[in-house]
Chains A and B, each alone.
Chain A
Amino acid sequence: MAQLFTPGADALYRLALMTGVACLVGLPVLAAGIVRSNYVTGVGVAPAQPLPFSHKHHAGELGVDCRYCHTTVEKEATAGIPPTHTCMTCHSQIWTGSDMLKPVRDSYAQDKPLEWKRLNKLPQYVYYNHSVHVTKGIGCSTCHGDVTSMQMTYRANAFEMQFCLDCHRAPEKYVRTPDQVWNMTWKPPADQASLGPKLVEQYHIRGGARLTECGICHR
C-alpha cells in the first residue's frame, strides 16, 4: 500500500500550524488596529457638511474668538453650536450674495435649522462638562486639535477612554495658564514640568487618584 502522506506533508502540516498560530496572534492585532484606525474612529476625516464652513478662515485668519459662536463653553456642559442667527450677524452684511452661504440664508428665511454632521461624540454613558475643563486651564486644542488650521473641520482625537485618562492621571502635563486656554497653537512651554504642578495647585484640580474614579465621568 502506498504511503498516505508524501514527504512534503510534514512541511504542509508545519505551514498550516504556523498559519494557525499567526492567525491566532495576528487577527486580534489586526482587529485592534482596525478599531483604532481613522477609518473607524473618524479622526482626520472631514465629512461633507451642509456648507463648507472653515474654522481656519473664521477662527484662524479672521481671529473670531471661539466663544463668539460657542457661547456656553465657559458656563455649561455643552459648548453650544451657534444658531443660524449668529452666522447672520455678519453674513447679513458681508458676502450676502454668496452661493456658498445660500443654505445659511435659506435656513434663516425658512426658519429651518442647519443640520451639521456631528464630529465629536462620546458614548452615552460618558458625561463631559466643557465649563469645568475650560475654567480649570484645559485648552480647546487639547481635545479638538488646532482647529484654526482646519480648512474643513475634522475630529482631532478619537476620544477613547485612554485619551481622557492620560490627562486625568496627570493633569499637570496639560494644564495651561488662563490666558492660554483659547490658544489653538499652544505647545507645553519649556517649564511645564515646574509650571504644571503649580497651576494644578492654583486651579484646585483634584489629585490624580480622585480624577480617575469612575463616577467622575460615568453615571
Chain B
Amino acid sequence: MTGIPDIAALRAKLSQGDGPRFWRSLDAVADSPEFRDFLAAEFPSAARLAAAPERRGFLKLMAASFALGGLTACGAGGGRDHEVPYVNQPERIVPGTDLSYASSALFDGFGNGVLVTTRNGRPLKIEGNPDHPWSRGGTDVLAQASVLGLYDPFRSQAVQQLGRPSSWAAFRSALQAQMPAWRAGGGEGLALLTGPVTSPTLAAQIARLRAAYPALRWHVGAGATRDGLYEGARRAYGRPLETIPAFDRARTIVSLDGDFLDLGPGQVGLSRRWIDARRAAYAEGRLLTLHAAAPTPTLTSAKADYGVVVPAGRLEDLARDLLGMAGGGAAPAGDDPVARWARDAGTALAAARGAGIVTAGLTASPDLHALVHRLNGAFGNTGATLKHVEPAAEQGASTLAALAEAMERGTVKALIVLGANPVYEAPGALDFAARMQRVPLKIHAGLYDDETGAHADWHLPIAHPLESWGDVRSLDGTVGLIQPTIAPLYNGRTLPQMLAFLAGGGDAEDAGALVKARWQGDGDDEAAFEARFSEALRRGFWADSARPFETVALTQDAAPSPVITAPAGGIEVLFRPDPTVWDGTHADLAWLQELPKPLTKVVWENVVAVSPRLAEREGIATGDVLRIEAEGRAVEGPAWILPGQADDAVTLTLGYGRDVPDHLSRGLGYDAGPLRPAGPSWQLSGARLMKTGRRSVPVTTQHLGTMEGQDLIRVQALAAAPVGDPKGGPSPASFYPPPGSQDRWVAAQWGMAIDLDACTGCNACVTACQAENNIPVVGREEVRLGRWMGWLRVDRYYAGGLDAPSTHFQPVPCMHCEQAPCELGCPVEATLHDSEGLNLQVYNRCVGTRTCQSYCPYKVRRFNYLDYTGGMTPVEQQQRNPEVTVRARGVMEKCTYCIQRITAARITSAKDAHAPIPDGAVETACQGACPTRAITFGNVADPESRVSAARRDPREYALLGHLNTRPRTTYLAGLAPPAEPGGREG
C-alpha cells in the first residue's frame, strides 16, 4: 500500500468490470495480498503478537492481562465527594436539568441559528434552531465543534503586551494616551482590520467610529472571503449581490465549480433547501437533477447526477458554450465527456427555462460568476429560481491587499486587528508579517494569541460567541441574535465592547446594552422594546429580517469576450478552504482535526491532491512529499491520489501549517498560504511540481471498517425496478413482536433509516455524535494504528472509472441488529439486547476481549486501547455530557442510539402513566445535526411513525442483510437519473 500504484492496471480493471462496482480506495481496487492482510488483521498491533514466532510472548501478555485485568476498575472515584448547592438558586436553573438558549453560530462572520443546551450553567451541546428561517434546524461541523472551542485550554486567557501578561487597565491607559492624537488627526494613519462584518451592531459602531475618525481606513480580510463572488455580481449587475437559489422552483441545477453543499456560511441553509426540493421532486416521480462540473471534487460535485471533471481554466469556456446554447447556438460537438456533459446540461437548462439554476461557488473566478449570472439571465432563471439580495456582509471596507500596501508605504501608524489573523491568513504574496513590522502600534484582539498576536504589541482576548452578546446576519440577511450562555471564562471582551472603547467609551460597557442600543429606535417605548427584544432573544432571531429581494438587470456591456487562454503549461494549483478546519481559524479544535475529511478521509493534516493521471505520469505514490513552486515561492506537502481530480491540477487546502507555540495545530500539515496569489483568485497556473524524494504517508480512516459483502451501496435509477429489499411476504422469524402487537410495557421498538440520497457527506453527524457521547480524541498516531473512536463513520465509495468516478456517502452507526453477531462473542454478556431492540454495551461488565469487535460485520465497535479520557484539563472536562458515561481504558464502546435521550423520553412517558412516546420526541444527536434530514429515528413498531414510513419506501435495504442480522438501521438507496439505453454509467 506504499509503493507506486500501477494505475494503468487499476484503470483497466475498473473499465473491464473486473474490479468492485463500488470501491473506497485505489488499494481496495488493487486488492493486493498486502491490502488483504491489512484487512484480515484489522488491528495490526495485536495481530503481530499472535503470529507464530511470538506465541509465548502473546500468551504471557494474555496471562498478565487476565491477572491484572480487574485493576483497571480501581480508579480514584475522586472529585465527587462534596455537594455544593447554590447560595441563591438562580431562576430556572435546576441542577442536572438541561436548559436551552437560542443563539447563533458564527461562520466567518455569517450566522446560523442554533440552540445551545446548557446544564448547571455550562454549555454542552449545540443543536440547530428549527425555527430559524435560514438554517432551519441543521448545523455544520464548525457549529458542533464551537462548544469545544469554548473550553479550549489553548484559548487566549489574558491581555498581553509584547508577549508579557498585562491587564485591561494597562491597555486602557496606554490607548487613552494615544487617543487625543488620533482625534486631532481625524484618525490619520489609523487602520482597522476585521473579518467579514455582518453584525448590524458592529456595522453601526464601525460607521460611528469612521465618523469620529474620518481618515480611519477600515479593511476586511479573511482566509476565505466572498470577494470573488461579489466582484462577479458587480461585473454582471453593477453592484455586489448575494445569490440565493430557490431550489423549490427548480427542475434542474447546473453547478460550475459550485459549492452549495460544501462547508461554508451557506451550507446548512442551502443543503436543506436543496434536499427539500429534491424530495418534493422524487414524490412527483421526477429527479431534481444536478449537473456538476468541477476541477477538484467537492461535496457538491460528489452529489452530481451528471458530473464531469473540467480543468479550472476551462470552466469559463464551458459557461460560454452554455451561453451559446441559451442563445440558440449549437451545442458543443465531440464525444469527450466535457462536450457530452455540456450538451446534457444545456439541454436540461433549455428544457427548464425559468426553472433552472446555474451556480458557481466561493472559489470561482469573478469572470465565471459574471458568466453564470448572464447564463441565468439568458435561461430566464434570474428572479424566478434565483433571488438576489444585498450581501449580508457590510460593504465599503477596503481589502487586505490595500492594507498591506499602505503598511508598505508606511502610512499606517496604528493597526487595530479585531478578530482576524492576517499574518497567517493573508496570501503569501502580501508578505503581511514583514510589512506589519513597519507599523508603530499594532493591537490584536482574538480568541487565540495566534500568529498575528505574536507580531502585535498588544494582544487582547475576545469573548467566545457562547460567552457573548451580539448579532449576526445569515447569508440571506436574517438577523440572528447571540446571547451568552456562560459568563466569560477568561475575562474576554466582545467586539462591540472593544469598538465602543475605541470610539471613546468605557472599556467594559455592558455588552448586552450595546446590542440593545442598536435595535432600540429613538422614539421606541422602553417597555414595548424590551418585550420585542425578549421575544427575538427567545426565538434567536429578528423575525422577517431577511434582506428584501432585489430586482436586478444585467449591465449592458457584452459578456466578457472569450479570451483564448493559451494552455499555460505546467501545473494548475487550486486553493480550497479545508473541509473541516476551514481557513485555519478552527485548527486548534481536536474534534475537527480528527474528523476524517469527507473525500480523502485523511485526519490531522492536509494533503496535496493529485489526479491518478498525474500520479501515473510523474510516478507519484500517495505519501510522496511534493514540492510545488510558482513565482519564486514554494509549498511542500504529501501527495494524495484523488479520483475525480482534473488531470494537471493539484489542490492545496488552507488551514494547516499553523505555527503558534504550544498549540494543538502546530506542525500539522503544510501552509498553502505562501503560494496563494494576492487578490480574490483561488488558482494559480504554470506551477512546477517536483518530488522531493521524502515520504510522509497521510493518516486516513478510509480502510477502517471495510466491510466484506455485496451491495453495500445501492443506487435507484428512476423508473427502474426497485433496488430495495423486497417488501411484504412472510418476514423471517424474529425475537421481537411484529409491528402493531407490541407489549404494553415496552415503550417502543427503536430503529433508524438513513437516506443515502440526502446524505451529502458533510460530517455534521459525526461531530454531533462526538459532542453528545463524550467520544475521545485519540491523536494522529493512534488513528494510524486503526484506533479512531468515532461511533458513527461516513464511508465514502467511488463507482465507475478511476479518473471521473461518481461518489457515494454512507453513514454507518451501530446497526442494532436484532440478531447481533457481537452478542454471541461476548464471554461476559457485556453486550446484549433489551426489549426495545437496543443493542446495549455495558461498560462496567466489559473485560475487553474485543471478540465483539471482530464478530461485528459492520465494524462499528471501538475499543479504548489507552486511557483516552484521562489527563484532561479541568476546563475541557466541563464539556463532558453528564448523561453519558466517560469510558475508561479497556472497554468496548459503540453507538447507543443516544440511549440517554431515549431514557429521558421514556421516563417522561412513564411518569405520565405510560403515555406513548410521540413520534419525533427522541431525536438522536446525528439526526438533529443533519442539515438534510437524512436520518430518521423512531419507533418501527408504530406503523404511523416517520421511520416506519421510510422503511416502507421501495428503496429501503438492509446493509449486509443476507447475513440475517436483521439490522434496525436500514438505508434508502440513493437516486440516479433513468438509465439510458445502452447505458452510460457514473
Interchain CB contact under 8 A, B87 and A84 = yes
Interchain CB contact under 8 A, B911 and A135 = yes
Complex Cα distance A116/B86, Å? 12
Complex Cα distance A71/B752, Å? 38
Complex Cα distance A86/B85, Å? 11
Chain B positions within 8 Å of A132 at CB level:
907, 910-911
Which of A77, A117, A209, A219 is the one whose CB lies under 8 Å from B97?
Answer: A77
Using CB atoms, name the residue of chain A closest to B915: A204
Closest CB of chain A to B939's CB: distance in Å? Answer: 16
Interchain CB contact under 8 A, B81 and A218 = no
Which of B89, B834, B844 is the one whose CB lies under 8 Å from A215?
Answer: B834
Closest CB of chain A to B528's CB: distance in Å? Answer: 33
Interchain CB contact under 8 A, B835 and A210 = yes
- Is B885 in the interface zone, CB < 8 Å from A? yes
- Is A85 in the interface zone, CB < 8 Å from B? yes
Which of A84, A118, A129 is the one whose CB lies under 8 Å from B81?
Answer: A118
Do A78 and B85 contact each other (CB < 8 Å), given the known contacts A136-B910, A204-B913?
no
Closest CB of chain B to A65's CB: distance in Å? Answer: 18
Which of B844, B886, B914 has most chain A Cβ within 10 Å? B844
Number of A-B contacts (CB under 8 A): 121
Q: Of the 9-residue stretches A106-114, A138-146, A172-180, which lies at the interface with chain B?
A: A106-114
Interchain CB contact under 8 A, A83 and B86 = yes
Using CB atoms, name the residue of chain A closest to B898: A219
Chain B positions within 8 Å of A107 at CB level:
87
Closest CB of chain B to A21's CB: distance in Å? Answer: 21
- Is A163 in the interface zone, CB < 8 Å from B? no
Interchain CB contact under 8 A, B87 and A85 = yes
Which of B89, B94, B903 is the one whose CB lies under 8 Å from A219?
Answer: B903
Chain A positions within 8 Å of B842 at CB level:
214, 218
Which of B89, B834, B843, B907 is the one whose CB lies under 8 Å from A213?
Answer: B834
Interchain CB contact under 8 A, A118 and B89 = no
- Is B80 in the interface zone, CB < 8 Å from A? yes
Interface of A is mostly: loop
Interchain CB contact under 8 A, B844 and A111 = no
Interchain CB contact under 8 A, A78 and B87 = no
- Is B838 in the interface zone, CB < 8 Å from A? yes
Interchain CB contact under 8 A, B911 and A113 = no
Complex Cα distance A75/B904, Å? 12
- Is B746 in the interface zone, CB < 8 Å from A? yes
Complex Cα distance A164/B362, Å? 59
Using CB atoms, name the residue of chain B closest to A107: B87
Chain A positions within 8 Å of B883 at CB level:
127, 219
Interchain CB contact under 8 A, B82 and A215 = no
Using CB atoms, name the residue of chain A closest to B834: A213
Using CB atoms, name the residue of chain A closest to B745: A206
Chain B positions within 8 Å of A206 at CB level:
745-746, 910
Chain B positions within 8 Å of A210 at CB level:
745-746, 834-835
Closest CB of chain B to A46's CB: distance in Å? Answer: 15
Q: Using a CB-CB cutoff of 8 Å, which residues 12-69 of chain B contact chain A?
A: none
Interface of B is mostly: loop
Interchain CB contact under 8 A, B83 and A81 = yes
- Is B181 in the interface zone, CB < 8 Å from A? no
- Is B84 in the interface zone, CB < 8 Å from A? yes
Q: Using a CB-CB cutoff of 8 Å, which residues 64-107 of chain B contact chain A?
A: 77, 80-89, 94-97
Chain B positions within 8 Å of A72 at CB level:
94-95, 97
Chain A positions within 8 Å of B77 at CB level:
121, 123-124
- Is A76 in the interface zone, CB < 8 Å from B? yes
- Is B899 in the interface zone, CB < 8 Å from A? yes
Closest CB of chain A to B922's CB: distance in Å? Answer: 14
| Chain B residues with a Cβ closer than 8 Å to the other chain, count | 40
Do A81 and B85 contact each other (CB < 8 Å), given the known contacts A123-B844, A204-B914?
yes
Do A127 and B903 contact each other (CB < 8 Å), given the known contacts A77-B96, A77-B97, A118-B80?
yes
Closest CB of chain B to A182's CB: distance in Å? Answer: 17
Complex Cα distance A129/B883, Å? 11
Complex Cα distance A78/B88, Å? 18
Using CB atoms, name the residue of chain B closest to A218: B842
- Is B668 in the interface zone, CB < 8 Å from A? no
Q: Using a CB-CB cutoff of 8 Å, which residues 827-860 of chain B contact chain A?
A: 832, 834-836, 838, 840, 842-845
Interchain CB contact under 8 A, B88 and A84 = yes
Q: Using a CB-CB cutoff of 8 Å, which residues 64-81 of chain A contact chain B?
A: 72, 75-78, 80-81
Do A213 and B835 contact each other (CB < 8 Å), given the known contacts A125-B843, A207-B745, A219-B885?
yes
- Is A82 in the interface zone, CB < 8 Å from B? yes
- Is A157 in the interface zone, CB < 8 Å from B? no
Which of A81, A84, A135, A213 is the one whose CB lies under 8 Å from B840?
Answer: A213
Interchain CB contact under 8 A, B745 and A113 = no
Closest CB of chain B to A180's CB: distance in Å? Answer: 18
Chain A positions within 8 Å of B899 at CB level:
215, 219
Q: Using a CB-CB cutoff of 8 Å, which residues 143-174 of chain A contact chain B?
A: none
Q: Using a CB-CB cutoff of 8 Å, which residues 39-71 of chain A contact chain B?
A: none
Interchain CB contact under 8 A, A112 and B834 = no
Interchain CB contact under 8 A, B86 and A129 = no
Do A117 and B95 contact each other (CB < 8 Å), given the known contacts A85-B88, A107-B87, A132-B907?
no
Complex Cα distance A76/B882, Å? 14
- Is A131 in the interface zone, CB < 8 Å from B? yes
Chain A positions within 8 Å of B746 at CB level:
206, 210
Complex Cα distance A85/B89, Å? 8
Interchain CB contact under 8 A, B844 and A83 = no
Complex Cα distance A136/B913, Å? 9
Complex Cα distance A218/B89, Å? 30
Chain B positions within 8 Å of A213 at CB level:
834-835, 840
Chain A positions within 8 Å of B86 at CB level:
83-85, 113
Interchain CB contact under 8 A, B84 and A76 = no
Chain B positions within 8 Å of A75 at CB level:
94
- Is A10 in the interface zone, CB < 8 Å from B? no
Interchain CB contact under 8 A, A124 and B95 = no
- What are some 15 contacts across the A-B interface (CB < 8 A)? A76-B97, A84-B87, A85-B87, A113-B85, A113-B86, A115-B82, A115-B83, A116-B83, A121-B81, A131-B907, A132-B907, A210-B745, A213-B834, A218-B844, A219-B900
Residues of B near any A CB (own CB < 8 A): 77, 80-89, 94-97, 745-746, 832, 834-836, 838, 840, 842-845, 883-886, 896, 899-900, 903, 907, 910-911, 913-914
Closest 5 CB pairs of A and B: A81-B85, A213-B834, A83-B86, A78-B96, A206-B745
10 further A-B contacts with Cβ under 8 Å, apart from A72-B97, A84-B85, A114-B85, are A80-B94, A116-B84, A117-B83, A124-B885, A132-B911, A207-B745, A210-B835, A213-B835, A216-B834, A219-B900
